[in-house]
Amino acid sequence: MNTVLITGCSTGFGRETAIHFLERGWNVVATMRDLSTNTLPESDRLRSLRLDVTDADSIAAAVATAGTIDVLVKNAGVGWLNAVEGTSMATVRRIFETNTFSTVAMMQAVIPGMRERRTGAIVNVGSSTTIRSLPLLSIYRASKAAVNALTESAALELAEFGIRARVVMPGAAPTTSFGGSARTQIMAQGGFPDPYADFVQQTVAAMQRHTAGGDVTTPQDVAEAIYRAATDQDCPMILPAGADAIAWSEGR
């Protein structure tokens, strides 16, 4: 029976993906920073482990405890909504540490075992913001664009060893805690620069109109796309998830 390790399983995409794999008979290692937030259903095929993807020791411990990993789903990440000028370098580093550098670290942790077995799949969760330029998401978008580039090149390196690497790009998901995290974070750290006030108001209003229109992404959309990326040999390198992400990828 195959085993998948999924990061960021306390809520949203990660939680739904864990359930999706469980329902299809997989062994699931569901990881999260705080196990007290775990709301996954009980199953003899589910193990919940603490994992902070920004901590090397935490990664090593979780991967060692998990044992054989057939599929890695690197889902854990953070959002950010602000102008470049309004984002401190400390915040830039935190965003890249969580969204980008930790993706490299998780891949490096599982690749040796997959390479030795000459089989495996890595699915990195990116963002549909890399399809279309959007204001106030420059730092977040850059961190996710790096995930795309990382995965595409790594896939060429890993194919020789029977390992596939793919990216799933969710669209806007306002119903998840991740969807609201960007605005919560920026307001907690002082807000937007004053010269951008009118621009921010117009931009946020446009985002709200988009998410109110109904063509948004659900956790189920993302779970289905991740499962396809993990199991379908013919899955494209970059797979949009959700109605809006698919429309953007098709130029609509």
Enzyme catalytic residues? 140
Helix (H, G, I), strand (E, B) or coil at 217: coil
d(CA 131, CA 248): 7
The Cβ-side half-sphere exposure at 66, using a 13 Å CA radius, reads 31
Alpha-carbon distance of 85 to 92, in angstroms, equals 11
Beta-strand ranges (E) seen in 82-162 are 120-125
What radius of gyration, in Å, describes the C-alpha atoms of the chain?
A: 18
For 95, 164, 184, 192, 240, the CA distances from 78, given in Å and listed in that order, are 7, 25, 11, 18, 19
Half-sphere exposure of 231 (CA within 13 A, CB side): 14
**CA-based nearest residue to 62, from 76, 46, 50, 47:** 50
Contact (CB, 8 A) for 51 and 7: yes
